[in-house]
Amino acid sequence: MRALLAAGLMATAIISGCGDEKVEKKAEVRPVRTMIVNPAPVDDDRQAVGEIKARYESDLSFRVAGKVQSRTVDVGVSVKAGDVLATLDVQDYENRLRSAEADVASAEASLTEAQGTESRQAKLVKDGYTSQSNYDSALRGLRAAESRLTSSKANLDLTRDQLNYTSLKADTNGVITAVGAEAGQVVNSGQMIVRLARPEEKDAVFSISEAAFRNAPAKTPEVSVSVLSNPGLKADGMVREVSPVADPVTRTYTVKVALKDPPDNLRLGMSVVGRLKLETAPVVVLPLSAIFDKAGQPAVWLFESGTSTVELKRVELSRYEADRAVIASGLGKGDVVVTAGVNQLVEGQAVRLIESAQQ
């Protein structure tokens, strides 16, 4: 009996001690770091990763079908207008040319004969030695011979053009960025043989998610573009084109930025990061450590100077950035926000400001 009584007293003491500990813990005054809210314009930190591409890039192809005899350029080769890039086997087209030349010679001979017949019939009908129908027949033969010669000459010009088309030439100065056929391959007309880019005008091309357009600027923004592997290599540009339709696979929009006077060592294909050169309207910017999650909604702890306690206040976020959060609404100038240790606080918690953290 005495043992049971002793155990009960001990349990009561432990429970009582726990309660005192909870009370003591609740009454604990925690030191906190704070900052005073002061809305101000900030640089827009939205950025995206993209690639340097030529503004003008063309797929060059033969205008006739055939077997590729040679390809004289590879990726990365600089070419000038008129340079031969590839050739086709010309044997079939030379045979067609000889056939067309023979047709023209035959048509010319037929025309000469028809002219003589018409001339004789014209004299005979004039003197009354032949009928008008005979002359009309000779005249029709002359007109047919003239038409045949015209058709043969047109076919000759066509076959000459087709022979010329067996040589693929650069139509402008540029650099080869891709090849689509090798020597010995049979290709169709219009099939890409090489891709030619004009490197003097360059674009930075980005794939942007639809969320980035939520707070899009009203005017066309300037963009600062820098190389990922070499941030010192940079150029400025303007957005010149925004795709009106999202890519069906990635669900992103293609944005092209025209670069102004890009440096020569900004090469095609380089990976770059683009940043908007904009200032926002006055906004509240807090470190990410100040944001507290309350039932899935962002909130912050406000310091009440009268009671030296903290109160949880819901806010609306504009966006997250690399190391800070931009607040859209919920805070006003002069509010004191706790910026560190927010997960250790409870509603009505007594706190003490760290002097070095006050602003």
The pLDDT score that the predictor gives to residue 258 is: 92
- The answer, yes or no, to whether residue 211 has pLDDT greater than 80, is no
What is the mean predicted confidence (pLDDT) over 116-125? 91
The answer to whether the CB of 60 falls within 8 A of the CB of 119 is no
Give the residue, 24 or 91, on which the prediction is more confident. 91
Average pLDDT, the chain: 85
- The answer, yes or no, to whether residue 84 has pLDDT greater than 70, is yes
Question: Using CA atoms, how far apart are residues 26 and 263, in angstroms rounded to an integer?
Answer: 63
| CATH fold label, 28-42+282-357 | 2.40.420
| CATH fold label, 47-55+200-276 | Elongation Factor Tu (Ef-tu); domain 3 (2.40.30)
**Which class is domain 90-165?**
mainly alpha
Give the residue, 340 or 190, on which the prediction is more confident. 190
Whose CA is closest to 60, among 78, 38, 86? 86
Question: Using CA atoms, how far apart are residues 60 and 79, in angstroms rounded to an integer?
Answer: 13
Provide, rounded to the nearest whole percent, the portion of the chain with pLDDT above 70: 87
Lowest mean per-residue pLDDT among 136-150, 186-200, 210-224, 227-241: 210-224
In the numeric block, which tokens belong to residue 173? 């100065």
pLDDT band per the 50, 70, 90 thresholds, residue 342 = confident
- The answer, yes or no, to whether residue 118 has pLDDT greater than 70, is yes
Instruction: Indicate the DSSP class of residue 349.
Output: -
The pLDDT score that the predictor gives to residue 126 is: 87
What is the mean predicted confidence (pLDDT) over 320-330? 80
The pLDDT score that the predictor gives to residue 359 is: 43
- The answer, yes or no, to whether residue 112 has pLDDT greater than 90, is yes
Sign of CA dihedral 250, 253, 257, 258: positive
How many other CB atoms sit within 10 Å of the CB of residue 292? 18
Lowest mean per-residue pLDDT among 51-55, 63-67, 180-184, 292-296: 292-296
- The answer, yes or no, to whether residue 323 has pLDDT greater than 60, is yes
Question: Using CA atoms, how far apart are residues 109 and 141, in angstroms rounded to an integer?
Answer: 13
What is the mean predicted confidence (pLDDT) over 118-122? 91
Angle at 184 (CA atoms; ends 181, 189), nearest 5 degrees: 55
* Sequence spans of domains, the chain: 28-42+282-357, 47-55+200-276, 90-165
The pLDDT score that the predictor gives to residue 217 is: 62
The pLDDT score that the predictor gives to residue 31 is: 85
β pairing state of 351-353 and 30-36: parallel
Angle at 209 (CA atoms; ends 206, 215), nearest 5 degrees: 105
What is the mean predicted confidence (pLDDT) over 85-106? 96
> How does pLDDT run across 169-192, given as a tens digit for each residue?
999 999 999 999 999 999 999 999
Residues found in the chain: 359
- The answer, yes or no, to whether residue 352 has pLDDT greater than 90, is no
pLDDT band per the 50, 70, 90 thresholds, residue 115 = very high
Question: Using CA atoms, how far apart are residues 15 and 20, in angstroms rounded to an integer?
Answer: 9
Whose CA is closest to 226, among 273, 179, 187? 273
Lowest mean per-residue pLDDT among 72-81, 105-114, 173-182, 329-338: 329-338
What is the mean predicted confidence (pLDDT) over 296-306? 88
